[in-house]
Amino acid sequence: MLYKYSNDGDTSMLALRLPDEIERRLAALAAKTGRSKSFYAREAILEHLEELEDAYLGAERLRTPTKRWKQEELEADLDLER
């Protein structure tokens, strides 16, 4: 289950339920490193969000094979250096 709490700044707060084992691992990592559990949860999301977006966009393209894609659109998804 996921909850999102809004806030007046540039960030929002998100609450989620984790299996006990994941919570224990996350708490242990935070305790050992002096970082917060939120720090590591945020890092994990940021690390994998792009992969998830790419997977969704790829699946979307397969559902609409008749759409013509511009080269710029394809290159934007690949994040190629020019």
pLDDT in tens, 39-59: 999 999 998 888 888 887 776
For residues 48 and 66, give the distance between their C-alpha atoms in angstroms, rounded to a whole number: 29
CB-CB contact of 69 with 77 (8 Å): no
Higher pLDDT, 77 or 27: 27
CB-CB contact of 36 with 30 (8 Å): yes
Hey, what are 73's tokens?
């659109």
pTM greater than 0.85 (yes/no) = no
